[in-house]
Amino acid sequence: MITIHSSLRNLILEWFSCRALQGVKQGLQWPAMERIKIYDTTLRDGMQTEGVSFSLEDKLSIARCLDKLGVEYIEGGYPASGPKETQFFAEVARQGLNYSKAVAFGSTRRIDTQAEDDGSLNAIAACKAPAATIVGKTWDFQVTHVLRCPLEDNITLCADSIEFLKKRGLETMFDAEHFFDGYKDNKTYAMNVLKAVAGAGADAIILCDTNGGTIPKDIYDITKKVCDELRRVTIGIHCHNDCDCATANTIAAVEAGARQVQGTINGLGERCGNANLCTIIPNLALKMGFDVLTPDKIKTLTEVSRFVFEICNLTPLMNMPYVGESAFAHKAGLHVDALRKSKRTYEHIDPELVGNERRFLISELSGKSNILAELEKSKITQDFKLARKILTCVQDLENEGYQFEAAMASFELLVRKIMGTYKPSFELIKYNTTVEKISNNGIVTEATVKLKIGDNVELVVAEGDGPVNALDAALRKSLENAYPLIKDMQLFDYKVRVVNAREGTAAKVRVIIESRDKTDIWGTVGVSENIIEASWQALVDSVEYKLQKNRGQRTEDGGQKRA
């Protein structure tokens, strides 16, 4: 056996990474190192995330999304756990998947039941899934303290369960639960379990860091020994993130020879979550040159990530590598200046490779380079005098409490005002809000808005769940006749922050509003000592941005972009 020095091995990996990345950029087909099969468990492990629950339609929507992404396996859950899981597999069988295989999950047979009579195994066999994963104990401590059965009996029931499903024509995988902890405590027993299920016909054996406490060196060393000993069966890896090493552990296992990778979209999962496929997939493909997904599929990762966050009703993690909104966001003026000269200076990949985009943040810390970069995005040629004027204005406004990092739509409108190209779509005459508490503890909120639109005056009254909601309803209702496209937009997030807390109830507040339509998401900002006025400013900018952008009638492609 040839041993490669670690520094030489790193050089080889770096060479493959460069070759693969150049191939993606140039549209070339470089020879892949090897195929890595992706096994997604978002619909089972991911649903164990605190606060997350999927309906049947949610699960089907995510399954269709993952099938389109091109993962090999989609683990759908326990068919024996309830009617929703049974319906899921029935619907997947009826509707079909174009690429992925649906996988039914379950545990080994009960110690007091034969495989033929076990309810969980029979539910898997009957659910029409083409593949199954069985979880079994490989840590002797778990066998004696949880199953409370003799060690040899556990080996038998693991092998019996695999054999039962293989005889029924299913591709069958074995999740070796707590394998790394078990190997450290009693490697002979842990390996005996794996040898038994391999002998029973398991198509793949997945080594699980169930407690998420193993570090990359141990993952590599142990996985390497397993791969060397069990050469005739595919070895996979399933990591949890309890010591923040799930991604690194997965990469280490692949380097050691694992050829199936399990994880979830966005790292969802119990406790601290599972290995994050949105990071692992581009690492394997773009950094290590493995054959994972095609470049066009990898370009959809950002879209997939945000879709799953939306289904989960969770706020996307802005600083998530590759797919996070901040993954390619640049604030320091020196960084932006360098990026304008060469994108390689402060970006490890082209954001387009994963479907993300480069963003330049505007703040009082920005230099002219940030402003110039934003002007270039708007097809405005380099104008240093204009950039200095805009930067001075931004610094003055931020001194008053404004912030444009999350309100780039307000920044874009500000630039148009400074350039003299801004033409308001309407003129405010007055607005008024009232909040009335009535005897049965109900609260009625009304807003009146009077606007001048061209030569017409619109006076509208609307109710809402609060003064801002009522103002939003009245404002948009007053504009619907003149601007029908206003019906496409909606306010979907509202944040308030006190700017100068020492002033108490007289302090200024900053309101950030996020709005969306069919193609875009945009943020706007307002600042005032009066929370209603700050909200009005942000609402007006939100509506104005919608109307200004639609004057150009940008093509709606179904994907949402952020401003």
User: What phi-psi label fits residue 174: left (phi over 0), alpha (psi between -120 and 50 degrees) or beta?
Assistant: beta
Is there a domain that residue 410 lies in? no
**CATH number, domain with residue 104:** 3.20.20.70
Two structure tokens written together for 51: 């606060």
Same domain? 368 vs 456: no
DSSP 8-state secondary structure symbol assigned to residue 363: S
Provide the domain limits for residue 367. Answer: 329-400
CA separation for the pair 274, 265 (Å, rounded):
9
Same domain? 483 vs 371: no
Query: Which one, of 134, 168, 169, lies nearest residue 154 by Cα?
Result: 134
Q: Annotated catalytic residue: which of 5, 178, 335, 348?
A: 335
The values of phi and psi at residue 73, to 5°, are: -130, 135
Is there a domain that residue 25 lies in? no
Is there a domain that residue 414 lies in? no
Is there a domain that residue 347 lies in? yes
Is there a domain that residue 140 lies in? yes
Same domain? 381 vs 528: no
Q: Which amino acid is at 428?
A: L
User: What phi-psi label fits residue 217: left (phi over 0), alpha (psi between -120 and 50 degrees) or beta?
Assistant: alpha
Query: Which one, of 272, 277, 260, 238, lies nearest residue 66 by Cα?
Result: 277
Final residue of a structural domain among 262, 278, 312: 312
Check residue 26 and give its pLDDT. 41
Is there a domain that residue 366 lies in? yes
Assess contact for 210 and 177: CB atoms under 8 A. Answer: yes
Is there a domain that residue 5 lies in? no
CA separation for the pair 267, 275 (Å, rounded):
5
Please provide the DSSP assignment of 58-124 as one string: HHHHHHHHHHHHT-SEEEEE-TTS-HHHHHHHHHHHHH--SSPEEEEEEEPPPTTS-GGG-HHHHHH
Same domain? 54 vs 172: yes
Check residue 561 and give its pLDDT. 57
C-beta contacts of 26-35 below 8 A and 24+ residues apart: 30/289, 32/289, 32/290, 32/291, 33/288, 33/289, 33/290, 33/291, 34/259, 34/290, 34/291, 35/259, 35/290, 35/291, 35/292
Q: How many domains does the chain have?
A: 3
CA separation for the pair 478, 474 (Å, rounded):
6
Same domain? 342 vs 471: no
Two structure tokens written together for 366: 């920005």
Final residue of a structural domain among 400, 415, 436: 400
Final residue of a structural domain among 286, 312, 338: 312
Same domain? 447 vs 487: yes
Same domain? 152 vs 215: yes
Same domain? 276 vs 154: yes
Check residue 14 and give its pLDDT. 47
178 counts as catalytic? no
Same domain? 467 vs 546: yes
Residues 6+ apart with CB under 8 A from 407: 512, 523, 524, 525, 538, 541
Q: How many CB atoms lie within 10 A of CB 558?
A: 7
Assess contact for 489 and 495: CB atoms under 8 A. Answer: no
pLDDT tens for the 563 residues of the chain, in order: 344 444 444 444 444 444 444 444 444 344 446 899 999 999 999 999 999 999 999 999 999 999 999 999 999 999 988 899 999 999 999 999 999 999 999 999 999 999 999 999 999 999 999 999 999 999 999 999 999 999 999 999 999 999 999 999 999 999 999 999 999 999 999 999 999 999 999 999 999 999 999 999 999 999 999 999 999 999 999 999 999 999 999 999 999 999 999 999 999 999 999 999 999 999 999 999 999 999 999 999 999 999 999 899 888 898 999 999 889 877 766 666 676 677 778 889 999 999 998 877 665 555 556 666 666 666 566 667 787 788 788 888 888 888 887 788 898 898 888 888 889 999 999 999 999 887 777 788 999 999 999 999 999 999 998 899 999 999 999 999 999 989 889 888 898 988 876 677 678 899 999 998 888 889 999 999 999 999 999 999 999 999 988 774 433 333 455 56
Residues 6+ apart with CB under 8 A from 287: 17, 20, 21
Same domain? 208 vs 126: yes
Assess contact for 402 and 427: CB atoms under 8 A. Answer: no
Same domain? 437 vs 350: no
**CATH number, domain with residue 431:** 3.30.160.270
Is there a domain that residue 17 lies in? no
Residues 6+ apart with CB under 8 A from 322: 278, 279, 282, 301, 302, 349, 354, 356
Same domain? 541 vs 441: yes
CA separation for the pair 157, 528 (Å, rounded):
69
Check residue 344 and give its pLDDT. 78
Q: How far, rounded to the nearest angstrom, does the alpha carbon of residue 194 sit from its chain's CA centroid?
A: 34
